[in-house]
Structure 1
Amino acid sequence: MRLTALVWATALLAGCGGAADIDNPEGASGQKLAFAYFQKCVQPLLSSPLTLPGGGTATCAAGGCHDNTNGTGGALRLIGSAATVDLGQTADQIRSSEMYRNFYSAQGVTVPGNPEGSRLLAKPLLLGMLHGGGLVLGSADDELALRIRYWITHPAPKDQDEFSSATYAMFTPADPATGTCNTR
């Protein structure tokens, strides 16, 4: 009886397409996204009030949305009060910070090199997927969209970590302390 049930279940799952239908998004390179750019250019936009296209304001890190403790917004979890981290600290010190937890969470909903395949950009623009918060960004030319796109399309060089000074070229001048956030 058990064997018959197992054979039946296997046949049903095979009919659903199984793993053959799973396809990894293009752009998955194993490269790390830049922590310095996230901290200075992306995090402030996720934790600050945004003017919504339909009117009103919202904050991604708000309690009902992507707040780490009681948000209902899926995989992205943010600590809105996360303090800025001194980039001169050791990697272990940075990785133990709340800011790094936000970075890690945001990185979890991205595909380095593929912004359209990344939920961090696609959801607030409603690009082929639903977002419980609705349309948050008016267009792909919105400042937040440009910064998220830039962050996703400019990962650290292969075999370098998220703290690589090579990622400082994402700022003008190439210094995360004094530079402005590049978007193009």
Structure 2
Amino acid sequence: MSWLAKSLPLFPRWLPTGAAALLAACGGGSNPLDNPPVVNNPPGASGQRLSFVYFQKCINPIFLAPLTVNQNGVISTNTCASAGCHDDRAGTGGAFRVLPEAQAVDLSDPANTTEAVRTTPMYRNFYSAQGEVVFGAPLQSRLLTKPMVLNVLHGGGLIFQNENDPNARRIRYWISRPMPAGQDEFSAAAHTMFTPPDPETGTCNTE
């Protein structure tokens, strides 16, 4: 009797050699059904962050806007922040959560220090959205690929027909332009993401 049959009496003795090898490759340990003893998650390589001010002005409004939804050919209208989707309290849309009542933060107010802003509902929305992103790689980021149903399922249906959707272009632009290495999410480098380069008066760039 083989060592596998002795150690796993209920394991089928007719298991093909190839299948046994596959199990061994998945487990990585002495027992083909074991998990590896240690799982290492490598830290992010860049250490960069996305722009908070662009998110606040250009991305968060997308989550609150009524959008056309295509669910298997059935057309309706809904918002990302609705109770059945990504609402922070009653949503069913996974880890990405939105506080619909989040108010814009006046970054010109000296009272709104970095520490203070990071306690606000708007920052919670920013942080949750950023968690769905691979910096610099829009088409690897679920914040964009899910509403496009691009090689990934989305319980909320098809929201953006393609990358040329105006909202998709904003999300793509935001993800594509992380702040310079060593600068935080409040970096003034984000001013160039607006035309003119002023978050207060400028419009949101998309290219």
Q: Which residue of 1 aligns with 2:105?
A: 85
Q: Identify which of 77, 82, 86 aligns with 1:66.
A: 86
Identity of matched residues, % = 53
Contact 1:49 1:57 in 2 (8 A): yes
Shift of 1:18: 6.6
TM-score (norm 1): 0.86
Structure 2 spans left out of the alignment, 5+ residues: 1-6, 9-22
Q: Which has the higher contact order (CA 8 A, sep 6+)?
A: 1
Contact 1:62 1:71 in 2 (8 A): yes
Shift of 1:13: 2.0
Q: What secondary structure, in the 3-state scheme, does the structure 2 residue paired with 1:124 have? A: coil
Is residue 2:83 matched to residue 1:35?
no
1:121-175 alpha-carbon deviations (Å, 9 max, x no partner): 0000011100000101111100110000000001111100000011111000111
Q: Which residue of 1 aligns with 2:16?
A: none
Matching of residues 1-184 of structure 1 within 5 Å: 13-14=27-28, 15=32, 29-52=46-69, 55-88=75-108, 89-184=112-207
What is the distance in 2 between the residues matched to 1:67 and 1:99?
13
Equivalent residues, number: 173
Structure 1 spans left out of the alignment, 5+ residues: none
Shift of 1:38: 0.3
Larger of the two Rg values belongs to structure: 2
- In proportion to residue count, which structure has more helix? 1
TM-score (norm 2): 0.77
The runs of 4+ residues in structure 1 deviating greater than 6 Å are: 16-19
Q: What secondary structure, in the 3-state scheme, does the structure 1 residue paired with 2:82 have? A: coil
